[in-house]
Amino acid sequence: MASSSPGARAPLALTPLTPPSSRLPTISMRALTAAGTARPIDARSIVTLIIFFAVNALVIFPLRIPLPRVLGRVASEARDAVLGLGRWDAYVHQGEIRETREIRETREIRESKDAQEERHESRAPNDDGKEANGASTTGASTTSEASKSSETDVPTPTPDTLAAPSHAPEDAGAAAEATPSARPHFTLGLATAPVAGVLLLLASTCIPGSVVRGGIVGGVRPYDIMTLFLAFAYISLSLDCTGLLRFLAFAVAARASSSGKTLFLALYALFVLLSLGVGNDPVVLSGTPFVAYFTTHTGVLPTPFLFAQFQAANLASALLVSSNPTNLVLTSSFHLSFLSFSAWTALPTLAAAVALYPVLAVLYRKLIPTTLSPPKVDPRDALVDPFGAIFTSTVFVAAIVALVALSAAGKLEGVEGVWTVTGPAAVLVLLRDALHDLRRGRSGGGALRPEAEMARVGPARTSDDEAAQATGTERPPSAGVASITTEKSRSPSPSTAPSPDPSPAARAPVARAHPVAWLRHTFPTVAAVVSRLPLPLLPFAFSMFILVDALEHTGWVAVWARWWAAWARAGGTAGCVWLMGVISVLGCNILGTNIGLTVLLSRILVVWRDAAAPSDRTLYGSVLALAIGSNFGAYSFVFSASLAGLLWRDILAQKGLSVGRLEFMRWNMVPLWTTMAVGCLVVAAEVCVMF
Q: Residues near 141 by Cβ (< 8 Å), separated by ≥ 6?
A: 122
Q: State residue 580's pLDDT score.
A: 96
pLDDT above 60 (res 142): no
Asked, for residue 203, whether it belongs to a domain, the answer is yes
pLDDT above 90 (res 604): yes
Are 476 and 581 contained in the same domain?
yes
pLDDT above 60 (res 157): no
Q: Residues near 159 by Cβ (< 8 Å), separated by ≥ 6?
A: 99, 100, 103, 449, 451, 452, 455, 463
Confidence of residue 146 (pLDDT cuts 50, 70, 90): very low
Q: State residue 515's pLDDT score.
A: 80
Are 360 and 392 contained in the same domain?
yes
Are 447 and 302 contained in the same domain?
yes
User: Where among 110, 138, 166 does a domain terminate?
Assistant: 110
Are 191 and 93 contained in the same domain?
no
pLDDT above 70 (res 529): yes
CA nearest to 452, candidates 440, 466, 435: 440
Comparing 285-289, 659-663, 670-674, 679-683, the range with the smallest average pLDDT is 285-289
Number of domains, the chain: 2
Beta-bridge mates of residue 186: 65
d(CA 69, CA 413): 51
Comparing 17-31, 364-378, 562-576, the range with the smallest average pLDDT is 17-31
CA nearest to 674, candidates 360, 398, 453, 369: 360
Find the mean pLDDT for residues 454-469. Answer: 40
Cα 166 off chain centre by: 20
Are 90 and 222 contained in the same domain?
no
Tell me how far CA of residue 26 lies from CA of 204, 399, 557, 568, in angstroms: 34, 43, 16, 9
Asked, for residue 585, whether it belongs to a domain, the answer is yes
pLDDT above 90 (res 427): yes
Are 38 and 92 contained in the same domain?
no
Find the mean pLDDT for residues 681-691. Answer: 94
CA nearest to 654, candidates 154, 86, 148: 154
Beta-bridge mates of residue 33: none
pLDDT tens digit sequence for 366-394: 898 888 776 677 778 878 888 988 999 89
pLDDT tens digit sequence for 514-528: 787 788 888 888 988
The percentage of residues in the chain with a pLDDT greater than 90, rounded to a whole number, is 28
Asked, for residue 166, whether it belongs to a domain, the answer is no
Are 434 and 292 contained in the same domain?
yes
pLDDT above 70 (res 452): no
Q: What mean pLDDT is reported for the chain?
A: 74
> Mutual orientation of helices 260-278 and 338-363 as an angle, nearest 10°?
160
Are 531 and 562 contained in the same domain?
yes
Confidence of residue 115 (pLDDT cuts 50, 70, 90): low
pLDDT above 60 (res 443): yes
d(CA 428, CA 341): 27
CB 275 within 8 A of CB 632: no
Asked, for residue 178, whether it belongs to a domain, the answer is no
Confidence of residue 448 (pLDDT cuts 50, 70, 90): very low
Q: State residue 462's pLDDT score.
A: 37
Q: Residues near 289 by Cβ (< 8 Å), separated by ≥ 6?
A: 459, 460, 461, 462, 651, 655
Confidence of residue 484 (pLDDT cuts 50, 70, 90): low
pLDDT tens digit sequence for 187-212: 898 889 999 999 999 999 999 999 99
Domain that holds residue 93: 66-110
pLDDT above 60 (res 460): no
Asked, for residue 428, whether it belongs to a domain, the answer is yes
pTM of the complete model: 0.71
pLDDT above 60 (res 287): yes
Q: State residue 87's pLDDT score.
A: 63
Asked, for residue 137, whether it belongs to a domain, the answer is no
pLDDT above 50 (res 510): no
Are 276 and 341 contained in the same domain?
yes
Are 406 and 429 contained in the same domain?
yes
Asked, for residue 458, whether it belongs to a domain, the answer is yes
Comparing 6-15, 174-183, 519-528, the range with the smallest average pLDDT is 6-15
pLDDT tens digit sequence for 241-270: 888 877 887 787 777 667 888 889 988 998
pLDDT tens digit sequence for 84-112: 676 666 555 454 444 445 555 555 556 66
Most confident of the ranges 323-327, 482-486, 578-582: 578-582
pLDDT above 90 (res 143): no
**3-state SS, residue 288:** helix
Most confident of the ranges 487-491, 639-643, 677-681: 677-681
pLDDT above 50 (res 176): no
Consecutive H or E run containing 229: helix 222-241
User: Where among 53, 83, 110 does a domain terminate?
Assistant: 110
Confidence of residue 24 (pLDDT cuts 50, 70, 90): very low
Are 191 and 88 contained in the same domain?
no
Q: State residue 560's pLDDT score.
A: 93
Count CA atoms closer than 13 A to 392's CA, side-chain side.
29
Are 100 and 217 contained in the same domain?
no
Find the mean pLDDT for residues 431-438. Answer: 92
